[in-house]
A = this chain, B = another copy of it.
Amino acid sequence: MLFRQFFDATSSTYTYLLASGKGREGLIIDPVKEQANQYLTAIEQLDLKLVRAIDTHTHADHVTALGDLREATGCMTLMGEFTQAECVSAHVSEDDIVDVDGIKLRAIYTPGHTNESFSFLLDPDKPKGVFTGDVLLIRGTGRTDFQGGDPHRSWDSIVNKLFFLPEDTLLWPAHDYKGWTASSIGEEKAHNPRLAGKTEAEYVEIMRNLHLPDPKLMDVAIPANLACGRG
């Protein structure tokens, strides 16, 4: 399998490019508009045909490259069924399988950071890794104070869905701010400081007391992303 992780240093975003191999159809998850040319270079040099560009959710901290990638490659843009983005050409619901030339992703509805976030499980028959967007991060979790976020739903998505995946399932989030590039479900169950040994009430209390400033790009990014970054 061809698996490439890219990092956008400005927004600390991880983007994932996957295909069964060189010369095959491929898909990309959580691409950043400013990096679109980097992805297109990789896609061309690896001789891939991009057929799906996926956002796990409507991002508030960067503008998506979905629209630009569709324009450049003719790929389908894909998000979860509850997105407000009208420009998206395909939607997934719980347990839908996205199958791109042998690469299989199972859609898992994981609200909490936003009310329309999905995670995507790679190789659902023998779970290899899960793309969690912002709901579950490495030793952290995505904020729950805007865009329909809800700490109870975040807890439920993580503890009652993601934590039921096999412990050695790798975790590939949409962000990390400390230089970590991957984790695993087992690691987060044991060592995520917001979750390990905590009750739901304690988690909700933690999330309600974060008092984070709004993302710098929020007022630009959300409307832009509802238009697939082409607004």
Answer whether A5 and B181 are a contact pair too, CB < 8 Å, given A45-B191, A190-B45, A191-B45: yes
A210 at the interface (CB under 8 A from B): no
Contact B181 A4 (CB under 8 A): yes
Q: Is A7 an interface residue (CB 8 A)?
A: yes
| Listed residue (A4, A38, A46, A179) with the most chain B CB atoms within 10 angstroms of its CB | A179
Number of this chain's copies in the assembly equals 2
The complex places the Cα of A42 from the Cα of B6 at a distance, in Å, of 22
A31 CB to nearest B CB, Å: 11
New A-B contacts (9) at CB < 8 Å, excluding given A6-B179, A38-B178, A181-B181:
A4-B180, A5-B181, A6-B181, A7-B179, A8-B179, A9-B9, A38-B179, A45-B191, A46-B187
13 A-B pairs whose Cβ atoms sit less than 8 Å apart in the complex: A4-B181, A5-B181, A6-B179, A6-B180, A6-B181, A7-B181, A9-B9, A9-B179, A22-B186, A38-B178, A38-B180, A45-B187, A45-B191
